[in-house]
Amino acid sequence: MKRISILGSTGSIGTQALDVVRANPDLYKVEVLTAQNNAALLIEQALAFKPAMVVITCEDHYQTVKKALPNVEVLCGEEALIAAVQLPQVDFVLTAIMGSVGLKPTIAAIQSKKDIGLANKETLVVAGELVMQLAKENGVKIIPVDSEHSAIFQCLVGEESNPIEKIFLTASGGPFRGKDTAFLTNVTKKEALKHPNWVMGAKITIDSASLMNKGLEAIEAKWLFDLKSEQIEVVVHPQSIIHSMVQFNDGSIKAQLGLPDMKLPIHYALAYPQRVNSNFERFNFLNYPEFTFSQADTKTFRNLDIAFRAMEKGGNMPCIINAANEVVVDAFLKDKIGFLQMSDIIEECMQEIEFILKPTLNNYLETDHHTRIFANTLVTK
Ligand code: MG
């Protein structure tokens, strides 16, 4: 029986993880659930899964949650996420909260020697070097939940001593694949939120439309699999069936395939190193007579190029672009800026925020903070 903490249980990954738990009651026990704002769903989940602790990070909802769950330890505030990952009986922490706020609880979980199911890519984008080093020191496994990284992770099982030549990170291309800059100038959030293959949260769906998601995933892959930027190639594969591939030093390529459904990588991360039966819909080749591949258009989708430049620059630059991106995506979702302005503002932050080659954790937190302030001034200009 694996005892798990789910950070961000009311989001897209969190609710799907609970579906997996519900289907495997003798394998998993939920010990902690956390949510930011969605008190009603958090309460419903807690009544169903009976965790030892719940956290509502937005303090306005504390009394509501506390009253509804008299038999559960209820905490509030962002700092409570640290306590949520440190409970002694927990052995696995699924980090499914969105954004760089996932960094501190992930570090606390690693320091408490809990294995991590990483669905919060921003943690590695912001401070990948530091987080992977800590995981190594504490003997903690980080199992990626992001579908591409889960695919690569699965391809690497049994290949521990074999060098990776390169990885192919597949991308659907998002809803605006094939469009040009003129078209993107006036796209609305409604159009950007219509992903062709994947059902996901709002932030990651916008990131998919701008290809920032693929850029952040490249940085995530760099740290997870200890790669150089030139070993990471993005390939547009609109069918989203090949979730990513690894090419080894003999030229052989391994791929992991499946329907585009996040439940599969969640299920794998929870069950790892076992594979556990599932009743998920099976892939049928007859429904997909053709797999196609093309190069990503980084001239139109500048965010992918921005992310690769940040990865190559290193230091706190990925932290800068991540913080700026969180601000601009939020602003785009609130109709404050246009689609292309997102890249403009991120690039301005790359210019303006102080570059630090060897950042400490505090440097990362300060960079994140300063970049948000500066990006917000550009949004409201
Ligand atoms: Mg992904």
C-alpha 301 – ligand 1 centre gap (Å): 17
C-alpha 64 – ligand 1 centre gap (Å): 34
C-alpha 320 – ligand 1 centre gap (Å): 21
Tokens 């937005």 locate to 58
Helix (H, G, I), strand (E, B) or coil at 31: strand
- Return the pLDDT at 318: 98
What whole-number distance in Å separates Cα of residue 73 and Cα of residue 6?
15
Mean pLDDT over 260-283 rounds to: 96
C-alpha 144 – ligand 1 centre gap (Å): 10
What whole-number distance in Å separates Cα of residue 238 and Cα of residue 350?
31
C-alpha 66 – ligand 1 centre gap (Å): 35
Q: What are the Cα distances from residue 87, in Å, to 21, 113, 290?
A: 19, 11, 48
pLDDT confidence band for 201 (50 / 70 / 90): confident
C-alpha 233 – ligand 1 centre gap (Å): 14
Q: What is the pTM of this model?
A: 0.96
Q: What are phi and psi of 23, to 5 degrees?
A: -80, -10
pLDDT at 240 over 80: yes
C-alpha 262 – ligand 1 centre gap (Å): 9
C-alpha 147 – ligand 1 centre gap (Å): 5
Tokens 């790892």 locate to 272
CB 93 within 8 A of CB 28: no
- Return the pLDDT at 233: 98
Residue type, 283: F
- Return the pLDDT at 323: 97
C-alpha 283 – ligand 1 centre gap (Å): 19
pLDDT in tens, 342-374: 999 999 999 999 999 999 999 999 999 999 999
- Return the pLDDT at 340: 97
pLDDT confidence band for 198 (50 / 70 / 90): confident
C-alpha 61 – ligand 1 centre gap (Å): 31
Helix (H, G, I), strand (E, B) or coil at 33: strand
The architecture (CATH level 2) of 314-381 comes to Orthogonal Bundle (1.10)
C-alpha 146 – ligand 1 centre gap (Å): 5
Percent of the chain at pLDDT > 90 equals 96
C-alpha 161 – ligand 1 centre gap (Å): 26
C-alpha 269 – ligand 1 centre gap (Å): 14
C-alpha 223 – ligand 1 centre gap (Å): 15
Please provide the distance, in angstroms rounded to a whole number, between the alpha carbons at the two ends of the chain: 53
C-alpha 168 – ligand 1 centre gap (Å): 13
pLDDT in tens, 102-116: 999 999 999 999 999
pLDDT confidence band for 196 (50 / 70 / 90): confident
C-alpha 217 – ligand 1 centre gap (Å): 7
Closest CA to 35 of 77, 69, 88: 77
pLDDT in tens, 119-148: 999 999 999 999 999 999 999 999 999 999
Per-chain residues with Cβ under 5 A from ion ligand 1:
146-148
pLDDT confidence band for 39 (50 / 70 / 90): very high
pLDDT at 160 over 80: yes
pLDDT in tens, 278-296: 999 999 999 999 999 999 9
Mean pLDDT over 74-80 rounds to: 95
- Cβ atoms < 10 Å from Cβ of 263: 18
pLDDT confidence band for 180 (50 / 70 / 90): very high
pLDDT at 229 over 90: yes
C-alpha 70 – ligand 1 centre gap (Å): 38
C-alpha 119 – ligand 1 centre gap (Å): 9
pLDDT at 300 over 90: yes
Sorted by where each begins, the domain ranges of the chain are 2-144, 146-312, 314-381
Q: For the structural domain made of 2-144, what CATH number should be given?
A: 3.40.50.720
HEC sequence for 321-363: HHHHHHHHHHHHHCCCCCCCHHHHHHHHHHHHCCCCCCCCHHH
What whole-number distance in Å separates Cα of residue 212 and Cα of residue 306?
8
C-alpha 150 – ligand 1 centre gap (Å): 9
- Return the pLDDT at 108: 97
pLDDT confidence band for 211 (50 / 70 / 90): very high
pLDDT confidence band for 87 (50 / 70 / 90): very high
C-alpha 195 – ligand 1 centre gap (Å): 13
- Cβ atoms < 10 Å from Cβ of 358: 9
pLDDT at 56 over 90: yes
Mean pLDDT over 67-90 rounds to: 96
CA trace torsion 189, 191, 197, 203 (10° rounding): -10
Mean pLDDT of all residues belonging to the chain: 96
362 contact partners, CB below 8 Å, separation of at least 6 = none
What whole-number distance in Å separates Cα of residue 316 and Cα of residue 371?
11
pLDDT at 381 over 80: no
C-alpha 326 – ligand 1 centre gap (Å): 17
C-alpha 145 – ligand 1 centre gap (Å): 8
- In the chain, which ranges are continuous DSSP H helix? 12-23, 39-49, 62-68, 80-86, 103-111, 121-137, 147-156, 181-185, 189-192, 202-210, 212-225, 263-271, 302-313, 317-333, 341-352, 361-379
C-alpha 172 – ligand 1 centre gap (Å): 10
C-alpha 265 – ligand 1 centre gap (Å): 10
- Return the pLDDT at 98: 87
115: part of which helix (H) or strand (E)? strand 115-118
C-alpha 8 – ligand 1 centre gap (Å): 17
2: part of which helix (H) or strand (E)? strand 2-7
Q: What are phi and psi of 346, to 5 degrees?
A: -60, -45
Helix (H, G, I), strand (E, B) or coil at 251: coil
- Return the pLDDT at 102: 92
Mean pLDDT over 206-227 rounds to: 97
C-alpha 149 – ligand 1 centre gap (Å): 7
pLDDT confidence band for 200 (50 / 70 / 90): confident
C-alpha 87 – ligand 1 centre gap (Å): 29
pLDDT confidence band for 257 (50 / 70 / 90): very high
pLDDT at 67 over 90: yes
